[in-house]
Structure 1
Amino acid sequence: MEDFNHHLSALSASLQSIPTSDSFRFHYNLPEFRHLIDQLTQKSQSMLNQIGSSDHIWGHNSSFPVDVDDGYEWMVNANDDVLELVDEVVDEFHRVLMEQDMEKGEDGFFKIKKERKGLILWGDDHGNETKKKVSFHVHTLRKPQYHYNLAVDNSNQPFEHVWLEKEKTEDGERFIHPLEYYSVLDFVDKNSIESLVPVKPPPLEFTPFKLVEDVKGLKELAAKLSLVDEFAVDLEHNQYRSFQGLTCLMQISTRTEDFIVDTLKLRDHVGKHLRDVFMDPTKKKVLHGADRDIVWLQRDFGIYICNMFDTGQASRVLKMERYSLQHLLQHFCGVTANKEYQNADWRARPLPDVMIKYGREDTHYLLYIYDLMRIKLFELSKESESPDDPLLEVYQRSYNVCMQLYEKDLLTENSFLNIKGLRGAGFNGQQLAVVSGLYEWRDVLARAEDESTGYILPNKVILLIAKHMPVTASNLRRLIAERSRLPYVERNHDIVVNIVRHSMGKAAAFEEAALRLKEEHAAFVEAAALRLKEEHAASVSNVASVEDGTEAPQSPSLSLKDECAANGSIGIENATCVNISEKSLFSSDPNSSAVKENGTNVQALKMPTVACDATLLGNSTSEGNGYPDKKGKKKIKVEQNVSSINLPSHSFLGNNEKSKLAVSVASVSTSTLDANMTVDLDSDSEDMMQSNL
């Protein structure tokens, strides 16, 4: 920052001594003056380029443009960036002071608060104790990719599992997971369960702990893990400021010690020292909800797990009330976990004590919970007359989770069809072409800058731009003015507008796809309504049978909610949910409320209250799989398949995978949408938080 101020001061001082207007033109005819001006021009250009290339300020190289008008806009944006950075630093400074029990006095200086409020961070105007919400994204953090010089491959090519063997198949080659050499039965340990006596671990403050931040500590950890038969593992991840995501921490607990590995500082060393112990089939690895952890370990460290027990899968087999680790800690250990840091920005360094405590809790009690769950599963298998072995089922599920192989997101012609909210938007060919163009530009830029696509250009903003199709930079600015700050869009207003203009000319190629999306959406809404009607009729029949004393008939298939929960299906987009109370039915009764979707009239059926997911393609429930949310409601979801539609590419991808935008400015007329059309504008940042859950 000091270098930045120095360059600006020098540039400003040199400009003050230059004549202006007619006086300048007169002096410029003199060779000596012209020579000095040319030298000053070169020096100024050099200073501006140095400012633009200051990675420690911008986080990326941003050279000064050649064009004068572009240069003016560049300077305005640069000035705004610096001022915003200063504001963020000041806000962070104030936050730290408040956390240290300070408050701002009348003279503007911070002082110790007169009345301490224990662990409370602040209070409202009425004296009520409140806590500051933990942010999932700290703007002032420098990206670890730059700070630790992390090498990532974001190319639009499949991920290479370089640590795995390959075998030839009819379709080419495939990777062989080391777990394939073992059977599930190799990991089931029934004999030791009958004599097992679980011992609850001591509190965190009485348990040895080490924060591993160097290679020496990593070697010591590997040596300790080689001496134990089992250990618990968890990861903390950040998805919002990188294209593929970053594993920020690895928590490991044995029966006697807790460890936290700084996987940002040690990214290049973690796999080398821990790969073998994770792959060792004689050592049990206990994780909770390991679906994402498994692929993160593969992607960042080349680590593949053999012999795992997933307590999340065990909670499902045991049919527990809830499947979260928070619930297991409370149920088995009487520990109330503070989950507000679940979506914190784990890139922060140094780690605050409260985040270290949270990280330790995720694994500290996990081996004890593992013991209790094995005992329950073993007892259940003895009591049950079913041939299915509950304990074996958990190991089979855990085995299947481990067998996943990480796959990188690849850009294809049809990738944009997966944007959440697209099907219910009712876009025409022009608007769909704009969505495709913006989607491709965003993908290329996100790979090059190693940013998430949601940070570059959120889905909601793509749909907003496609809906209104701004053809000038000023219109675009006004359209997104009330949105959260979008630095990449703000720096590339002209490019975004050119993409809109260029894409609108390709409307004819997208008309068929637009029609297909509308038809599919209408079919999904109609199918959902029909299923709701059938389920209600079945429930009414069951109630009548119970009242008559006869046996209630069994439904031949899963309910809509159960089926979608089991399949992890996605929701009906922009469908107006049935306003479910107690008495109205799906019928032709004109008094019943009607839902009109794309020309399809659906009569509302009154049933016990359920919540309907209002967005297609990706709106998950609080538990991720259609399980009850905090209010005890369930979201009804319907599985859908993205149709295979061959669409024209905008050809923004070159051999070097950088955006090559060759667009022509044409006079176009914008089309309008139905005034009643609604577009899903759920925050992509919230999607990121949800994916980390």
Structure 2
Amino acid sequence: MESAAEFNPFQERVKSSFVQMIRSTNQVAAEDLTFHRSSSTEVADSLDEQSDRILSLTSSILKAATKGTDVPAPTLRDEESIEDNWRGIVDVIDSLLERADACLDEFTGVIKRLSPSQQEQAAKAEKKTPAKFPTIYDYGPSKIPKPQLQFERPPDNTDVSPFKPLLRTKPHAIVSLKKSLKSADRSPYEHEINAAKYPPSTYTVSPPVEYLPFDSTTATFVDDMDAVKEMLSELKGAKEIAIDLEHHDVHSYHGLVSLMQISTREKDWVVDTLKPWREELQLLNEVFADPDIVKVFHGSSMDIIWLQRDLGLYVVGLFDTYHAACALNYPKRSLKYLLQKFVNFEADKQYQVADWRIRPLPSGMFDYARSDTHYLLHVFDHLRNELIQNSTPNDNLIDYVLKKSKEEALQVYRRPVYDAATGQGAGGWYDYLSRSSTVLSKEQFAVFKAVHQWRDEVARAADEGVQCVFPKHMLFKVASVMPVDQGTLCRTLSPMTPLARSKVSDLVKVIKDAKAAGATGPEWRDVMKPSKPATLVDAPEGLLTPPVQDTDFPTAGRYEVSQFWGTALDTKQPPIPAEYTAAASAEALRLSFPLPFMPKTVSEAREKLGISGASKPIPHPAQAPAPAPENTNEIFSVKELGGPRKRKPAATDIGDQLPPEEVEDNADTVPLEPAEKLSKNQRRKLNKKNKSASQTTSGENTRDSTPFNYDTAESVFHAQPSQPAGGALLHQPFNPYAKALDAPSGVRKGKKGSSGKGFTFR
């Protein structure tokens, strides 16, 4: 490619090739390669060969990409080494993409290459600059050299003393500059701002002045002092001027005013405020502090701060169109909405978050910056007329907007310094936590405070925004995980910024120390201060309700007892219950669940109930049951209606083979054959049948006995087996599964046919 115009077609061809490659890769990955590998040796060998080739090519590319850099190239020996070195592979790719992006921006003209003379000046500035600032050739996360390194007054982020105004002279002064600088908490132009009288045209309805066509006019780019003085002479003859700023706060700790746009009814200017002589722009106070010239801003809250911090400029006679839109109760208050409403101009907001340090400015960014002020005076005319027309004797909307505008102009810049112990102050950790619903333990709270302070110190030293170290959500993530080794920390902060990657070991030590110290420290909810509930403030008709302060919002308090559940959720450990004995209190018996002792045999049940053997009832001979009513629909089986298959032996056969008590307890149990003629298998079946009959009789006798008294029974919980004098246990502890063990057996399995004797029927 010989020119930047050929880059876009080349980019499209590369993009289409990448898309085709990704589609092919996804198609191969979707196939079941494991199955094909196991089904064919040739396929397995081919896959292994291609895998080795791809690994070799990848290793060669990684080595070529890291040649001449400090990034080590990982070695890929097999597929497992890819997973082990994945973090290193990502670092190489990130570094390669950053360099490619910077080269493409330089090729397409987004970044202007430094001339040899500029490089010499940058090297001199680097020697005068403290070592804590990165060199102009070390781009880091930014592709653009830091312009603040060439300022006549380089930024000092370690200075936490009260800010001193940059003013050298004070045009249009009512109070002298020396007296105005005695108090650092007040604006040097406080008296002038309060005493300012707006021109009579501000209170008069007049037709809006038409703006000049945007396409047929252009703005003047001001980048030297001669152009500044020429612009100043033209501004002095204007009655109203429109002002706007473009700010950059990503790669600078305090931020930088990168552009200033100024427009009159006839002309537009775009001022480069990144020049080393930027503080010489104070001479514009001859116009900015002139009360006879109305300065129109939109949303001037931060613009006023940035002007006095970077350029030493103060505004007297401010008119903020944002407050005018609020007073008129517009559904939207943005400049984009006002331009669309009154000018039918659609602002291209893709440049709103652009890096305004780029030089030279691309045409799109230049036109966007110019459009912010080119139409603003026409919008001011419409708003002024509507404010006057909607005002009443008791509610003057013009006075309300001018009052709010003066309050904006009276703001004073204060350095962003916070108390590390309490977290109070600009950018402090207290503000972060009070706006989050995250619940942190003692250790997590201590880690959050320590890591927040470490991030702030690193950003100050490198003159980068704190988000360039790692963003806010990563701060909460680190506090929650509390990683104490570099591997876990890198995975927690993934993707890592170059600034954080270079100081991983320091951050790990900070986390370890904070976690150990936080074990005995306070929790976040102990430090959080509750505030008063919000109160309603009456506002004049037609105006917005004054904003509620942060201290008006209620915060969570800590209560010892739940207001809803009371003490039901008490987390105290329950007392260990005492053993239940016969002498236990009635309250303990009432709270327990007494269950009766369940005897296993009839004799054991009689012994438990105190029934002697003499009083044992004599079983009567079985009588034939009464015939049941005939029911033709009753379900029956052939086995129930059929007779016995074998002869029943006489009762004397049982008495000859069993003990007397067994004969009595099992009187209804009849063996199939005499005991001496029974085989071993038949005797086992007989014993099983007798046992089943004994359990049935025991259950029937128990049900017929005296009802169990649950009120006087002792609890089975924590019960100990009673032991008589002889030493033998009367009964075992309660077993809730005992009945399940005595359940009748299931259906008998069918007899398996022996080999060679089976039959098949069709």
2:154 maps to 1:151: yes
- Which protein, 1 or 2, shows the higher relative CO under an 8 Å CA cutoff with sep ≥ 6? 1
Instruction: Note if contact 1:564-1:570 (Cα within 8 Å) is conserved in structure 2.
Output: no
The separation in 2 between residues aligned to 1:600 and 1:424, in whole angstroms, is 21
> How much does 1:411 deviate?
3.0
SS of residue matched to 1:393: helix
CA distance 1:251–1:239, shift in 2 (3 Å): same
Q: Evaluate the alpha carbon distance shift between residue 599 and residue 138 of structure 1 in structure 2; reply closer, same or farther with a 3 A threshold.
A: farther
Q: Which residue of 2 aligns with 1:454?
A: 467
- Cα distance, 1:91 vs. partner? 3.7
User: In the superposition, relative to structure 1, how do residues 138 and 359 fare at CA in structure 2: closer, same or farther (>3 Å)?
Assistant: farther
The aligned counterpart of 1:106 is none
Corresponding residue of 1:394: 401
Cα distance in 2 for residues equivalent to 1:275 and 1:186: 15
Residues 100-132 of structure 1: CA deviation (Å, up to 9, x unaligned): 9xxxxxxxxxxxxxxxxxxxxxxxxxxxxxxxx
Asked if 1:445 corresponds to 2:458, the answer is yes
Aligned residue pairs, count:
433
1:438 aligned partner, one-letter code? V
CA distance in structure 1 between the partners assigned to 2:475 and 2:499 by the alignment = 13
Measured after TM superposition, the shift of residue 212 of structure 1 is 0.8
Cα deviations across residues 643-667 of structure 1 (Å, max 9, x unaligned)? Answer: xxxxxxxxxxxxxxxxxxxxxxxxx
Q: What do residues 640-689 of structure 1 show as CA deviations (whole Å, max 9, x unaligned)?
A: xxxxxxxxxxxxxxxxxxxxxxxxxxxxxxxxxxxxxxxxxxxxxxxxxx
Pairing partner for 2:514 from 482, 499, 503: 503
Q: Measure, in 1, the Cα distance between the counterparts of 2:308 and 2:320.
A: 17
Cα distance change on mapping 1:573 and 1:315 into 2, 3 Å: same
Q: Does 1:342 align with 2:374?
A: no
Contact 2:252 2:464 in 1 (8 A): yes
In structure 2, the partner of 1:408 is: 415
Opposite residue 409 of structure 2, the aligned amino acid is C
Pick the aligned partner of 2:145 from 139, 142, 146: 142
Give the 3 Å change call, closer, same or farther, for CA 366–315 of structure 1 in structure 2.
same
1:338 shift after superposition: 1.2
- The one of 453, 468, 476 equivalent to 2:489 is 476
SS of the aligned residue for 1:250 comes to strand
Partners of 2:317 and 2:292 lie apart in 1 by 7
The alpha-carbon distance between structure 1 residues 490 and 262, as it changes in their structure 2 partners (threshold 3 A), is same
Deviation at 1:148, TM superposition (A): 5.6
Partner SS for 1:234: strand
- The one-letter amino acid of 1:455's match is C
Q: Which has the higher strand share?
A: 1
Task: Confirm or deny: 8 A CA contact 1:286 1:366 kept in the other structure.
Answer: yes
Conserved 8 A contact 1:429-1:507: yes
1:160 aligns with 2:164: yes
The 8 Å contact of residues 207 and 256 in structure 1, kept in 2 or not, is answered as no
User: Cα–Cα, structure 1 residues 453 and 334, in superposed 2: closer, same or farther, change >3 Å?
Assistant: same
Given that 1:278 and 1:306 are in contact with CA atoms closer than 8 Å, whether structure 2 keeps it comes out as yes
Give 2:505's aligned residue. Answer: 494
> CA offsets, 1:547-592, max 9 Å, x none?
xxxxxxxx9989xxx99982365999999xxxxxxxxxxxxxxxxx
CA distance in 1, matches of 2:493, 2:245: 36
> In the alignment, what sits opposite 1:278?
288
Write the distance in 2 (CA, Å) between the matches of 1:450 and 1:208: 35
Rounded to whole Å, the distance in 1 between the matches of 2:544 and 2:340 is 29
Secondary structure in 2 matching 1:505: helix
Residue 233 of structure 1 deviates from its aligned partner by 0.3
Task: Report the CA distance between 1:86 and its aligned residue.
Answer: 4.2
Q: CA deviation at 1:370?
A: 1.1
* Distance (whole Å) between structure 2 residues aligned to residue 79 and residue 216 of structure 1: 52
Correspondence for 2:333: 323
What does residue 291 of structure 1 align with?
301
1:372 aligns with 2:382: yes
Q: Higher mean Cα deviation, 152-161 or 433-442?
A: 152-161
**Structure 1 stretch displaced more, 233-242 or 180-189:** 180-189
Separation of aligned partners in 2, 1:256 and 1:462:
50
Report the equivalent of 1:256: 266
Q: Take 1:294 and 1:419, find their aligned partners in 2: how far apart are those partners?
A: 25
Matched-pair contact (CA < 8 Å) for 1:213–1:266: no
Partner of 1:362: 372
Determine which structure has more spread, i.e. the larger CA radius of gyration: 2
Distance 1:238 1:405 in 2: 20
Name the CA distance, whole Å, in 2 between partners of 1:570 and 1:564.
17
CA contact (8 A) 2:202 2:384 kept: no
The letter for the 1-side match of 2:160 is N
Secondary structure of the residue aligned to 2:215 is helix
Distance 1:81 1:187, change over 3 A: farther
Cα distance, 1:205 vs structure 2: 2.2
Match in the other structure for 1:467: 480
Query: Does 1:211 pair with 2:217?
Result: no
2:435 equivalent to 1:431 = no
TM-score normalised by length of structure 1: 0.56
- 1:308 to 1:563, Cα distance in 2 relative to 1, 3 A: closer
What CA RMSD, in Å, does the superposition of the two structures yield over aligned residues? 4.0
Q: Judge conservation of contact 1:161–1:302 (CA < 8 Å) in 2.
A: yes
Question: How much does 1:99 deviate?
Answer: 11
Change in CA separation of 1:174 and 1:600 when aligned onto 2, cut-off 3 Å: same
2:439 and 2:285 map into 1 onto residues whose CA distance is: 49
Structure 1 distance, partners of 2:210, 2:433, is 45
CA 1:85–1:95: 2 relative to 1, 3 Å: same
Aligned mates of 2:257, 2:202 — CA distance in 1: 35
Q: Which amino acid aligns with 1:391?
A: I
Structure 2 segments unaligned to the other structure (5+ residues): 1-67, 72-85, 111-139, 171-176, 424-428, 566-762
Q: Which residue of 2 aligns with 1:567?
A: 548
Tell me, in whole angstroms, the C-alpha distance in 1 between the residues paired with 2:303 and 2:482. Answer: 40
The 3 A distance-change label for structure 1 pair 96 and 601 is: farther
How many Å apart are 1:158 and its aligned residue? 2.2
Q: Which residue of 2 aligns with 1:221?
A: 231
Letter in 1 for 2:395: D
Q: Tell me if structure 1 keeps the 8 A contact 2:164–2:184.
A: no
Once the two structures are TM-superposed, the CA of residue 405 in structure 1 deviates from its matched residue by: 0.4
Residues 402-425 of structure 1 show CA distances to partners (whole Å, capped at 9, x for unaligned) of: 000011110312222222577522
| Structure 1, unaligned runs of 5 or more | 1-53, 63-75, 101-136, 532-554, 576-597, 603-693
Identity of aligned residues (%): 30
Equivalent residue, structure 1, for 2:322: 312
**1:320: Cα distance to partner?**
1.3
1:378 and 1:391 in contact (8 A); partners too: yes
Indicate the residue corresponding to 1:12 in structure 2: none
Distance in 2, matches of 1:497 and 1:204, equals 56
Is the aligned partner of 1:353 residue 2:367?
no
Any conservation in 2 of the 1:211–1:259 contact (CA below 8 Å)? yes
Match for 1:466: what amino acid?
A
Report the 3-state secondary structure (helix = DSSP H, G, I; strand = E; otherwise coil) of the residue aligned with 2:243: strand
Question: Shift in Å at residue 441 of structure 1?
Answer: 1.4
1:211 to partner: Cα distance: 0.7
Counterpart of 2:23 in structure 1 is: none
Say which SS state the counterpart of residue 419 (structure 1) adopts: helix
Which secondary structure state, in structure 1, belongs to the residue aligned with residue 350 of structure 2?
helix
Give the Cα–Cα distance (whole angstroms) in 1 for the partners of residues 91 and 280 of structure 2.
36
TM-score (norm 2): 0.51
Point out the more displaced range, 429-438 or 263-272: 263-272
Measured at CA, do residues 144 and 83 of structure 1 come closer, stay the same or move farther in structure 2, by a change above 3 Å? farther
Measured against aligned partners, the alpha-carbon deviations of 1:236-284 in whole angstroms (never above 9, x if no partner) come to 0011111111111000001111100111125534433313321122221
> By how many angstroms is 1:426 displaced?
1.1
- 2-structure distance, mates of 1:185, 1:160: 23
C-alpha contact 1:158 1:410 (8 A) present in aligned 2: no
